[in-house]
Amino acid sequence: MIKENQRLLNILHIIVDAIIIYLSFNLAYILRLDEFNSPLIRWHIISPPLGYYKDMSQYQNLLTMIVPCYLIIYGFCGMYDPKRTSGRRAELFCLIKSNFFGIIYCLAALYFFKQWDYARLLLGFFACINIVIDYAFRLVVISILRKMRKDGKNLKHVLIVGYSRTAENYIRRLRLHPEWGYKIHGILDDNKKIGDEYRTIKVVDRLGALEHYLSSNEFDEIVITLSIDEYSKLEGLVAICEKSGVHTKFAPDYNNIIPTKPYTEDLDGIPVIHVRHVPLSSSYNIVLKRAVDIFGATVALILFAIPMLITAIIVKTTSPGPLIFKQKRIGLHNREFDMYKFRSMKVQEASEEKKAWTTKDDPRVTPIGKFMRKTNIDELPQIFNVLKGDMSLVGPRPERPFFVNKFKEEIPRYMIKHQVRPGMTGWAQVNGFRGDTSITGRIECDLYYVENWTLALDFKILFLTFFGRKVNKNAY
């Protein structure tokens, strides 16, 4: 039933997309080339077109080429793939990518057929309008579908095969997101007692009953979540599922070892999974990120020069002791370096200072220090750490040697964060993990950053550092 619903929804999507492409193109023509009807020309926002351009009827002929080819591009870019568990941002990215390739196609076609008298700027107007209208339409569709699924309609029926940590995590995720519309009918397992349950999902039978369940029930998906010590049964279970024709998923029970999006390579037909994929191990990415760091740190130094000078004067006149506080931290490849801060605390013994975190209402913090820590002004000297190459603008926050030695024994995968340069701000900080907060939650954020780094993620973190709500939540 789900497959028929998806097919019908895709047909409706294609029809509506064709209409939106048609309307967007005509609206772009009016805004750019229609001197009598364009509000942008009348209000002098853009200049009237110069020289000879084809009239509206000739642009309509161009649509016969644009509409079908755009729809094909939409299909190749995954616009009509099921997106039950993906978010609005993924939909927007997919739409922008499709329109980018669409415009490239249009420009290439005009160049190939030597059609010089079509306005190129009109295509830019068309892409922007098309993205806005189509995204608005898709947001409406997403909202309606999510409401239906919460109300128990348009559900995808699932049977889980194998009880494990992964099975529990899978059930937990689906319980947290009823808008995804998954209904779990039970678990097959050889080790748990029949009738045992997890979050109201019961163990209904043994693995040997899988073929019977597939023949007597209509499931949309089978999710295999065997525990790692039962993988010898995997091949047989997959064969049974494929014989029945049901869509089968495999959720491995080693997600605590291998990342969510593992990096694989083909070794002459043998798939090889890298236990840890670090994008910043690529020379190209290293050079790109370092160039952004140097440029960003230089700009930041110019912008914050006066605030730093004022802060230096206030610190020096309100509390005895050095202006800059240097502290040993562990950075890239486990190397120690001196991290700089404006001193925000009273001078104390080094042996005491290095073993304690700052807590709320800490008596060691000076009056001006409390303000500096809350506003992150005390971190500004780390711009020099970035220029020196000890740190990056964005990355996991560096920790003191005492805590690194402590946590590496207590927390699995803690040391992976040192495969990239530490940062002035990071994914953990913009998610509220700062100061005396969960070290496990902080490491999970750091690992996500290490494994999923992109330049876009860096820019997002920088934006949230200045405008996010959580970044100063636990700053003492």
Asked if residue 277 belongs to a domain, the reply is no
CA 201 to CA 73: how far, in whole Å?
41
* Same domain, yes or no: 335 and 457: yes
201-205 and 182-188 strand pairing = parallel
pLDDT the model gives residue 352 = 55
Residue 141 covered by a domain: yes
CATH number, residue 189? 3.40.50.720
Q: What does 212-278 look like in DSSP terms, one character per residue?
A: HHHHHS--SEEEE---GGGGGGHHHHHHHHHHHT-EEEE--TTTTTS-SS-EEEEETTEEEEES---
pLDDT value of position 64: 84
Q: Are residues 337 and 436 in the same domain?
A: yes
**Domain tally for the chain?**
3
For the stretch 173-190, what's the b/e string if a residue is b when 16 or more beta carbons lie within 10 angstroms of its beta carbon? ebeeeeebbbebebbbbe
The verdict on 107 and 45 lying in the same domain is yes
State the 10-residue block means of pLDDT for the chain, 476 residues long: 68 92 89 60 57 63 86 90 82 92 87 71 88 94 91 91 94 93 95 94 95 86 93 93 89 76 78 81 90 95 93 86 89 94 76 56 73 85 96 94 88 88 94 78 90 92 83 54
Final residue of a domain: which of 150, 166, 185? 150
Which pLDDT score, from 0 to 100, does residue 135 have?
Answer: 95
273 lies in some domain? no
Q: Could you tell me if 165 and 122 lie in one domain? A: no
Residues 220 and 188 in one domain: yes
Same domain, 136 and 162: no
Q: Coil, strand or helix: which one is 381? A: coil
Domain end among 96, 122, 150: 150
Short-list 227, 225, 205, CA closest to 216: 205
The candidate with the shortest Cα–Cα distance to 167, out of 237, 229, 225, 231, is: 225
Q: State the pLDDT at residue 42.
A: 57
Per-residue model confidence (pLDDT) at position 29? 82
d(CA 165, CA 255): 10
Residue-range definition of the domain harbouring residue 191: 156-256
Here the contacts of 405-414 (C-beta below 8 Å, separation 24 or greater) are 407/439, 407/443, 411/439, 411/440, 411/443, 412/256, 413/443, 413/447, 414/443
Query: What type of residue sits at position 66?
Result: I
Does the pTM surpass 0.85? The reply is: no
Within this chain, do residues 418 and 311 fall inside the same structural domain, yes or no? yes
**Does some domain include residue 95?**
yes
Looking at the fold, whether 67 and 216 belong to one and the same domain comes out as no
**What is the C-alpha R_g of the chain?**
29
Q: How far is CA 312 from the centre of its chain?
A: 38
The verdict on 225 and 341 lying in the same domain is no
Q: Is residue 190 part of a domain?
A: yes
Q: Does residue 264 lie in a domain region?
A: no
Same domain as 370, residue 235 = no
Residues 416 and 447 in one domain: yes
Cα–Cα dist 275/259, whole Å: 7
**Do residues 215 and 240 touch, judged by C-beta distance below 8 A?**
no
β-pair partners for 159: 222
Model pLDDT, residue 85: 82
Does residue 18 lie within any of the structural domains? yes
- Boundary (domain end) residue, out of 132, 150, 168: 150
Asked whether residue 68 is assigned to any structural domain, the reply reads yes
Instruction: Based on the fold, state whether residues 60 and 201 are members of the same structural domain.
Output: no
